[in-house]
Structure 1
Amino acid sequence: MVSEAIYPGPDPKIFQQVREWRALYETLTEGKGKPLNHWEITALLEIYGLRDIDAHEQYGFNDLFEFAKMLVVFIDDYKYEVKTYELEAPPSKVKRIIVNYFEGMAFALPMLLQVFFTLVIGYGLWSSLDLDVRTATAIAMGTFAALVATGGPAQAIGRKGLFYIKMEEYNLAYKITRKLFKIFFIQAFIIGLLMILFNLFFEYIPGTMLLYMVVYYFLLAFLFTSFAVFYMMELYGSIALYVLLGVVLVYLLHVFFHFGIIVSQVASLVITNIVVFVDAFRRVKKLTDKSREKEGDAEPRLSLLFYSLNPYMMYGTFYFMFLVTDRILAWSAIPLQPYFIWFNVRDELGLDWALIVLILLIGMSEVIIYEFMYRVNDDIIAHRYDEADKFNSSYRRFFLKYNIVFFVASFFVILFVYYGIYLLAKYTDWEFLDIFFIAPTPWIFAFAAVSYAFLSNALTNILFFFSYSRYKAVLKGIMAGLIVNVVVGLILSRLMGYEYAVIGLLAGSIVFWMFVVFFGNRFFKNLDYYYYSAY
């Protein structure tokens, strides 16, 4: 240990400075081993976030280099503990593909449960095929509004919270998640009030429909925002469990206690909301138990926070607008209907069954992104600086190969879902299966299934871009796809019939996919650059 007596002067302030320098030096070198010289200490100071002006104003040195030369005296006096990690032997390729596929499926499992129960028993946690058309329309409008209103916030909470968790900044993860949740819930509440005020002025739907729409909107907006916390913590199984329990509660209230389906769903949603919210923030609060003494907790300015999250919020909003556009266009295309939008069972059934194709393909996304991440970090180290073209070419082949495999798999998944429905209809007596084979539902299913194959492939590709903070092409693609979806669907549904709105979904999905694949080719062609310039 360096004796404080070597520093001249009896002033105790000097001794205090030495203690501060030592504390800073310990922080700089914690888990990093013994520095070689003052150049390495300078680099550690810069990594820590200090600048020359900080060295001058806070510590009294001209610049970081001079400060580092001072800190050199501590090199031999400190006991270094370098963090070591025991790496587990990687699982076999077949095993990890199977595991990652089902982990990817877990991400989409809540949607699968909702769709499955709606199609099989006629209702789920927030949907029902056995309601009168007026009520079903109102609930569907509330659901669409909740998805669009919370799509962006869910992306923001998930991305920023997960970022701090991965960085082991648990205090910040807790604080930022709590702040974003409050802000976005207030935002969703304001959107709900605007919907009510808009109806008061223009009376586009009667009071009973407005009541159903608003109640389901608020309950689902709160639920989806709470679910974002679980997505942030990668607890997909918990979300699926809560959806399942919610559906079971609806079933019990409706079948055993003979409540109406609306009362059963509202009661179940209220209880589910309370339980999910409490559990979500219990888990987030527990993150602070992992916080370290030297962990920072200075929150970023709100303006900078939203500036960094804005692209992901826009993407989430546009994505859910894209998903509901064809339904809105189809349901508003039938002439002489009572209101501007009117629930259509045949259209909804075709689209819901096609969603199973999307859900089954999402599991492949997890496999592909994991295989990419599993290889890229080791491969980039294994290649010399003058072998960049060789490195990039190998991943362009990877990009091409997995896209071909994805679409071949999509073909078989679509056939699997269609013939699965056929066999269920043939050997069971579920009432909603017979409706599937009444035109134009099979036709809608076919176009929607192909659309979701293109969409799921695009969603897989954008995971690469988001992993390296490249979002501009994704935003351009989803915006272009949304515009094409609206224009093509609007024209065809008005000129040829409501069932042709699904062609807008197909055209929009292909345009989105083309944008993503075009950028993907450029991305993998210059992967070395995007890798090193990611952050």
Structure 2
Amino acid sequence: MNEAVYIGPDPKILQQVKAWRELYEQIVVEKGKPLNNWEVTALLEIYGLRDVDAAEHDAADLFELGRYLTPFIEDYKYEVKTFELEVPPSKVKRIIQNYLEGMAFALPMLLQVFFTLVIGYGIWSSLELDVRTATAIAMGTFAALVVTGGPAQAIGRKGLFYIKMEEYNLAYKITKKLFRYFVVQIAIVGLLVLVFNLFFQLIPTDMLFHMFVYYILLSLLFTTFAIFYMMELYGTISFYVLLGIFLVYLCHSLIFHLGIIYSQIISLIITDIVVFFDAFRRVKKLTEKSREKEGDAEPRLSLLFYSLNPYMLYGTFYFMFLVTDRLLAWSAIPFQPYYIWFNVRDEIGLDWALIVLILLIGLSEVIIYEFMYRVNEDIISHPYFEARKFNRLYSKFFIKFNIIFFIIAVFVILLVYWSIRLLQQNTEWDFIDVFFVDPTPMIFIFAAISYAFVANALTNILFFFSYSRYISVLKGIIFGLIVNFLVGLLLSRMLGYQYATVGLLVGSIVFWLFVIRFGRKFFKNLDYYYYSAY
């Protein structure tokens, strides 16, 4: 009688069980313990698997694969996360804190404007420049803002998305890919301008040189700053702006006594290099937080840009909107040497008005955080049959915060104007006296009111972008830009260059109306937009 010989389990079966276990471990990372095979199947779908993929794991479909993986539910050690309930600060404290954080977002722009007005120069602006050079540098600055507006939105949005999802490898890879692409884009635009001018000779060589150098250096700086915005390191950006201004001061006034142009170029080159290496050092450091099973498959470039295209267009059109009135005003005076010629009175009025925009941007941070503090808790506390009650609550919130915003905006405009008046009475700065020479006060008033509407629109846009709604925003900025251009063009040619600012005002109101109109719909159906965001 032959004895049965035990030869152990089939190695193929052991290998398949091992593969199933590895797959199970991958789908439950940070997901917790599933209840049954149905939830395991759902996790497989969330992981991105389809019925056709189940065949690779010897299963007919995902439901069968879910049943194969179900035995691992009980013998897997799940990570237990502990959370400390954060006690929110008092309302007054958090409003002050959030306002300061919002101001930190706009502080780099404030520093540039402040130092230009007080000591006479910043990193890329100066009151010492002759009109010819100032025109060239301003054109380079405007071009840099418009060309990098879209890239800044793309890097900030996609990189921050992966960081919030704790996909740090992808955050690093996508940031590198986008940055390389946009640097090439910056270079191509610059080359096209050079070739165009070579054939048509619109700008003299010296002006073209200044324009091109500032365009390249500022474009690189603004694009790299987008990485810091992505990581919400607003204070670091302000530090580098101060560093750049200090380097200009060092080269121009303190030690080397170089011309302001050379001082700014040296400062921009050094700042670009330091900011670039620090930005990518920080992004690379993010990968140290990566989990062992974190995915790193990059989306295809075509899909990446398809998803980012609306935000890139918005960033580009937004900066076009902000510079349109300047270009119209600077081209409205007859018998000037070139079609666009720097206008000191117009620029001073607009620079002071920018302070209104900066101060109001801090208010945006307060409002969006007050919203976030409440909405997650409120939507849980309202059952589905109380959806209308929930939406009415936030429709009232929408009306309330917009009214408060404009009351504060009036106060801020008056505050800035009377601050300038006090400076005139108590100082001997020439640029303060220039402010009160007609038509600069009128330009300031129109621009300040315009920026109040823009700041309010930007605040509402934060809600829409938080829930992936961008169509009305894009329509609003496009129609606002068209109205800004047409009204500004018509009035500046008929009545005088200062009336280009009226185009800015009317365009701002049109932009604001588009945003407010969608805002009413958004908050009336907030439950829908909340749950359908992604």
TM beyond 0.5 = yes
**Structure 1 pair 9–489 and aligned structure 2 pair: CA distance change class (3 A):** farther
Is the aligned partner of 1:250 residue 2:248? yes
Aligned residue identity for 2:126: S
Partner of 1:375: 374
Q: Following TM superposition, where does structure 1 have runs of at least 4 consecutive aligned residues deviating by more than 4 angstroms?
A: none
> TM-score of the superposition, structure 2-length normalised?
0.97
* Partner residue of 2:85 out of 84, 87, 99: 87
For residues 50 and 405 of structure 1, what CA distance do their matches in structure 2 show?
Answer: 49
For residues 144 and 231 of structure 2, what CA distance do their matches in structure 1 show?
Answer: 22
Partner of 1:74: 72
Aligned residue identity for 2:398: F
Aligned residue identity for 2:210: Y
* Partner residue of 1:157 out of 150, 155, 158: 155
Aligned residue identity for 1:338: P
For residues 183 and 454 of structure 1, what CA distance do their matches in structure 2 show?
Answer: 34
Aligned residue identity for 2:244: G
Partner of 2:108: 110
Cα deviation, residue 11, structure 1 = 3.2
Partner of 2:123: 125
Matches within 5 A, 1:159-308: 159-256=157-254, 257-308=256-307
Deviates more, 1:84-93 or 1:8-17: 8-17
Partner of 2:464: 465
Alignment check: 8 A CA contact 1:32 1:82 kept: no
Cα deviation, residue 413, structure 1 = 0.2
Partner of 2:481: 482
For residues 377 and 340 of structure 1, what CA distance do their matches in structure 2 show?
Answer: 54
Alignment check: 8 A CA contact 1:114 1:125 kept: yes
Deviation by residue 1:203-232 (Cα, 9 ceiling, x = unmatched)? 111111001100111110111111111111
For residues 350 and 174 of structure 1, what CA distance do their matches in structure 2 show?
Answer: 42
For residues 289 and 123 of structure 1, what CA distance do their matches in structure 2 show?
Answer: 41
Partner of 1:137: 135
Partner of 1:4: none
Deviates more, 1:30-39 or 1:487-496: 30-39
Alignment check: 8 A CA contact 1:489 1:501 kept: yes
**Structure 1 pair 302–31 and aligned structure 2 pair: CA distance change class (3 A):** closer
Deviates more, 1:247-256 or 1:227-236: 247-256
Partner of 2:324: 325
Alignment check: 8 A CA contact 1:32 1:83 kept: no
Partner of 2:3: none
Partner of 1:3: none
Partner of 2:26: 27
Aligned residue identity for 1:360: L
Partner of 2:4: none
Aligned length: 527
Partner of 2:499: 500
For residues 361 and 181 of structure 1, what CA distance do their matches in structure 2 show?
Answer: 30
Cα deviation, residue 10, structure 1 = 4.1
Deviation by residue 1:85-138 (Cα, 9 ceiling, x = unmatched)? 112111111111100000000000000000001111111100012211000000
Deviation by residue 1:404-433 (Cα, 9 ceiling, x = unmatched)? 000000000000000111111111122211
Aligned residue identity for 1:316: G
Q: Secondary structure at the match of 1:483?
A: helix
Partner of 1:362: 361
Partner of 1:5: none
Partner of 2:144: 146
For residues 474 and 269 of structure 2, what CA distance do their matches in structure 1 show?
Answer: 35
Partner of 2:386: 387
Cα deviation, residue 41, structure 1 = 1.2
Matches within 5 A, 1:432-443: 432-443=431-442
For residues 210 and 313 of structure 1, what CA distance do their matches in structure 2 show?
Answer: 27
For residues 517 and 17 of structure 2, what CA distance do their matches in structure 1 show?
Answer: 57
Cα deviation, residue 42, structure 1 = 1.3
For residues 399 and 318 of structure 1, what CA distance do their matches in structure 2 show?
Answer: 26
Alignment check: 8 A CA contact 1:37 1:72 kept: yes
Please report the RMSD computed on the Cα atoms of aligned residues, expressed in angstroms: 1.1
Cα deviation, residue 31, structure 1 = 3.3
Aligned residue identity for 2:97: V
Partner of 1:510: 509
Deviation by residue 1:208-259 (Cα, 9 ceiling, x = unmatched)? 1001100111110111111111111110111111111111111121112211
For residues 31 and 228 of structure 1, what CA distance do their matches in structure 2 show?
Answer: 30
Q: Secondary structure at the match of 2:101?
A: helix
Cα deviation, residue 82, structure 1 = 2.9
Q: Secondary structure at the match of 2:74?
A: helix
Instruction: Give structure 1 stretches of 5+ with no counterpart.
Output: 1-7
Aligned residue identity for 1:500: Y
For residues 181 and 172 of structure 1, what CA distance do their matches in structure 2 show?
Answer: 14
Instruction: Give structure 2 stretches of 5+ with no counterpart.
Output: 1-6
Partner of 1:64: 62
